[in-house]
Amino acid sequence: MSAFSDLGRHPGWPVRLGPVEVRAGTVTLRGPRLFDGGKWSRLRIRDRDYLERWEPTAQEGWNERNATLSWPAQWSSLRAMARRGSTLPFMILVDGEVAGQITVGNIVRGSLLSAWIGYWVAADRAGGGVATAAVALLTDHAFRDAGLHRLEATVRPENGASIRVLTKSGYREEGLFKRYLDVAGQWRDHLCFALTSEEVPDGLVRRLVARGEARLP
């Protein structure tokens, strides 16, 4: 079956990625499902203080935007964009349980073959290698199977944890975007990190394994 069949399949989605074993457990990525709403909402509302300061400002309040009832519309939108080939959305699972999200978005093909990558991980999974493994899995997939050439990630200079994830994964800092994004009610500067496929011919997951930071089951 062609990757562009009338069933709505596009290069790189849907698919399940992993597993990769890290300190926090076994990390896999899969597409979002309708029944993820309850767990997704509980994590997002519980971890508001941990997540909200890094995420774009929205008109709705945090609890309203992350309520279980808001999930079906978000899930439907993510699935539609994935079927159009503009997004690769995944849930991050640790030992089979939802622990965050990671997305490749704004996919531009043609002569650019570029996109951005963004993620969040539950507070109680931070520091155990989960985000680094998820970034490695999806970066490898985007370059190898989705046919992309370049990925970008933007992060506030104050977000040391996310910067460590990106640099450990092999992303390099390219510059500072002044007043780039409205976060917590103010226009915030963001650092831009990027990676191209030529820089990781053997993949990021293999790098993590070679450094002893991850293991393939």
DSSP 69: G
Please tell me the least confidently modeled range out of 19-23, 33-37, 58-62, 168-172: 58-62
Residue 11: burial class (beta carbons within 10 Å; 0-12, 13-18, 19+): middle
pLDDT at 50: 94
46-62: pLDDT as tens digits:
999 999 999 988 878 89
Alpha carbons 50 and 188: distance in angstroms, whole number:
17
138-186: pLDDT as tens digits:
999 999 999 999 999 999 999 999 999 999 999 999 999 999 999 988 9
Q: Is residue 7 over pLDDT 50? A: no
Alpha carbons 81 and 18: distance in angstroms, whole number:
23
Alpha carbons 54 and 101: distance in angstroms, whole number:
14
Domains of the chain plus CATH, in order, are 17-210 (3.40.630.30)
pLDDT at 9: 54
pLDDT at 35: 96
Identity of the amino acid at 91: M
pLDDT at 45: 97
Q: Which long-range contacts (CB under 8 A, 24 or more apart) does 177-183 make?
A: 180/154, 181/56, 181/154, 182/56, 182/57, 183/53, 183/54, 183/55, 183/56, 183/57, 183/156
